[in-house]
Amino acid sequence: MDFIIKIFSDSLYFTGPILLCTLGGLFAYKANMINIGLEGMMLFGGFISALILFFTHSWIIAFIAAILLAILLGLLFSYFGVTKKANFIITGFAINLLAIAVGKYVLAALGSIDINVISDVTRQMAAIDLGIIGEIPVIGPIINKQSFLTYFSFILIFICQFVLFNTKFGTYVRVVGESEEAAKSIGISINKIKYLAVIIGALLCAFAGYNVAINQLASYTPDITAGTGFIAIAAIYCGAGNPKNSSLYAILFGLSRSLAVNLSLRIGTIAGLLEMIPYIMIIIVLTVVGIIRKRKTLYRGFLHE
């Protein structure tokens, strides 16, 4: 029983960052700009917050730094991808490579293999005790003692759903993605909407990075993201950019990551193989989703949705 609870509890733990990246990235996806750079934006977020926390010992300053860097990255991505109309796949790819390179460079300059901030991370930062809720049988131990950002990521599902379908901004994002001509003809500023969509994504990715580097691991190394940004892209695609549906896939991927970790703790030597679970899961899910979508239609080739 404890083992099962552990698996589900860890699922939430792993789902948090995936969810943040997923919900962030889907705004850009809905505006018809797939942001491949989610991974890099998350890594940058983790890096800057660990670095600043290490030097200033203030998590607030670290958090603000992560936000500022995210805005900067969002502007950078949009400047090339929107204003300059460069290929945004390449732009996103560049951000991913840059994130790894900058991190490695700074680590080399510091002469360290990681940025360890364990002494600056308090219990309360890592895991919030929900008190009475934590005592509910089964459910309690599963949801208790997660970080604030993890809880926030689940609330965010509903916020995003609301924003996308019930606010002007959300409507415009969908309109821009579906028909730029329509947007243009009634004077919606397409570039502004795309910039905003990308920046929101960058911000949430930075939160994800902060969540992993500070709340969960209390240290930064260039591999802390472990493909979270790409997993998020898979989730966004599978859920067709709908916040609720995409989040379900994000949770599914979180669960498989938890399975991988917990099972490999038990099994020992061939544990390495089990680490493939989340990625194999993605391939299977993507294939199945693709086949189902294809089978529904007798039409050939690419059609606008």
Partner 1 sequence: MEIIKTIELTRMFGDFIANNQIDLTVEENEIKAIVGENGAGKSTLMNMLYGLLKPTAGEIYIRGEVVHFDSPNDAIKKGIGMVHQHFKLVPSLTIYENVILGIEVERKIKLGKYSFSLPSIDHKYEAKAIQDLIDRFQFGLKSTDIVKNLSIGAKQKVEILKMLYRNVDIVIFDEPTAVLTPQEIKAFFVTLKELKKQGKSIILITHKLQEVMEVSDSVTVIKQGKVIGNRVTKETSDKELARMMVGREVLLNVEKKYQDYSKNEIVYEIKDLTTYNHDGIKVVNGISFHLRKGEILGIAGVEGNGQSELLDLLTGLSQSISGKIIFNGIDITNKWPDEMRTQKIGFIPEDRYEQGLCLDMSIAENMIAGHHGKKEVCKHGLLLTQKINEKRDRLIKSNDIRVSDCEGNVSSLSGGNAQKIILAREFDANPELLIAAQPTRGVDIGAIEYIHKSLLNLQAQGKSILLISSELSEIMSLADRIAVIYKGQIIGEVNGINASREEIGLLMAGICERKPENEVR
Which residues here bind partner 1, judged by CB under 8 A?
Answer: 162, 166-169, 171, 174-175, 178-179, 181-182, 184-188, 296-301
Contact 247, 157 (CB under 8 A): yes
Angle at 128 between CA 258 and CA 265, to 5 degrees: 25
List the one residue out of 71, 35, 30 whose CA is nearest residue 161: 30
The residue (of 138 and 182) whose beta carbon lies closer to partner 1 is 182
Q: At its nearest, how many Å lie between partner 1 and the CB of residue 87?
A: 15
Residue written as tokens 């609330």? 155
Output 123 or 168, the one with its CB closest to partner 1: 168
Judged by beta carbon, residue 1 or residue 299, the one nearer partner 1 is 299
At its nearest, how many Å lie between partner 1 and the CB of residue 302? 11
Structure tokens at 121: 């991370």
**Six token digits for residue 108:** 């080399």
Residue closer to partner 1 (CB basis): 168 or 266: 168
Nearer to partner 1, 2 or 181 (CB): 181
29, 7, 82: which is closest to 237 by C-alpha? 29
- Residue 128 per-residue DSSP state: B
| Minimum separation from the CB atom of position 301 to partner 1 (A) | 7
Q: Residue 170 CB, nearest distance to partner 1 (Å)? A: 9
Rounded least distance, CB 88 to partner 1, Å:
18
Q: Tokens for 214?
A: 């500070």
